[in-house]
A = this chain, B = another copy of it.
Amino acid sequence: MENLLDGIEDILLMGPGPSCVHDKVYEALGKKSIGHLDPYFIRIMDAIKANLRTLLKTENTLTIPMSGTGSSGMEACFVNLIEEDDPVLVLINGVFGMRMQDVAQRLRANVDTLEFDWGTPVVVDQVKKKISEKQYKIVAVVHAETSTGVKNPVAEIGALLKGSETIYLVDAVTSLGGVEIAMDAWGIDALYSGTQKCLSCPPGLAPLSFSDKAVAALESRKTKVPNWYLDLSMIMKYWKGATRAYHHTAPINMHYGLYQALLLILEEGPDNVYQRHMTYHNALVQGLEDMGLSMLVAPDSRLPMLNSVNVPEGVDEAAVRSTLLKQYKIEIGAGLGPLAGKIWRVGLMGHTARQENVTRLLAALKSTLS
């Protein structure tokens, strides 16, 4: 029979994720499976927990990967923390803030929102006003809004909430591994991420961390978590303690990949990794501007790993992406929602953030646009 896997090409992944993967991570994915209760696998789990804590700058015991993609991390944070009619504030300036609202509403939370123009950051003073008017159980925001390329002021919002009863919930899907996150110092209580962005591991796991305050909220629920698969009160018994209780079969080989991806970041040094993202982001922006292109987001709020480029008037943006993929073997992303057709999204995530990739994209884009 024809095997489609033989025809997979080596594509330079410069979209909004998945990102390029280091050969060592691919090798890790293909290591022999062992059992999910094998003592050696538990050592690997423990190392993943420890390494995630280092990268997140947190002491949180409950710091684990969920068995799904980044969006399962979002689902997990909300479903474990929300009970019916809980007041939740979601700060929205892109697709992923909207997704948070949808997730929370499906779980019957009482959801308020504060909305900001797409391409601009959340305004801290407006958040301050809003939370002074009403007591929220959860305030939720996206750190790196993948749909626009905006970095939200997560530390500053955290400072507003310090000492309050409110649980501070942050989406770090695209930020983790690309910019600093200081979970404890910033007062973040619940955080999720994904493997396929700046961690440079294929998609399939969602790192998640809960502070003691978030765990206390989980443990004092009046009702069972209405999602068996993502119920952290059961899952944590598999991830800690001397005897591990089976919940569901962990995605063994994906954990090998995540373990290796984290090791690569720690070996390079997180600060060096963040600097590398910034360096090649600057090189990319300079190159794009030299070509006469402009960025959607103002310099102060730009993410290094997700670069939103305004599509020049009269250019068929889909045709450009198609040419880049077919002819140059480079993937970049389209705009979403109100930005569909208006921007390209160029990822410089994790292993992708290198000079040779910036150079190759700029050359390809120049040829395509000329």
Contact = CB atoms under 8 A, between A and B. Distances in A.
Interface of A: 1, 3-5, 7-11, 13, 15, 17-18, 20-21, 26-36, 38, 40, 43-44, 47, 67-72, 74-75, 79, 99, 102-103, 105-108, 194, 196, 202-204, 224-230, 246-254, 256-257, 259-260, 263, 266-267, 325, 331, 336
Contacts of A74: 228-229
A202 B252 contact: yes
A190 to B, nearest CB: 16
B67 A106 contact: no
Contacts of A246: 336
A159 B36 CA distance: 37
Q: Which of A17, A70, A229 has the most CB of B within 10 A?
A: A229
B10 A32 contact: yes
Given A17-B249, A228-B102, A250-B203, A9 B34 contact: yes
A11 B26 contact: no
A248 B69 contact: yes
Nearest to A41: B8
A204 B18 contact: no
A248 B70 contact: yes
Nearest to A229: B75
Contact of A229 (B38, B72, B105, B250): B72
A67 B204 contact: yes
24 contacts: A1-B267, A4-B43, A5-B28, A5-B44, A10-B32, A11-B34, A13-B34, A29-B30, A33-B196, A67-B68, A69-B248, A71-B228, A71-B229, A103-B228, A106-B224, A106-B226, A196-B252, A202-B252, A202-B254, A203-B249, A204-B251, A226-B226, A227-B227, A254-B254
Contacts of A29: 29-30, 253
Contacts of A196: 33, 249, 252
A357 to B, nearest CB: 15
A34 B260 CA distance: 19
Nearest to A106: B226
Contact of A263 (B1, B40, B194, B251): B1
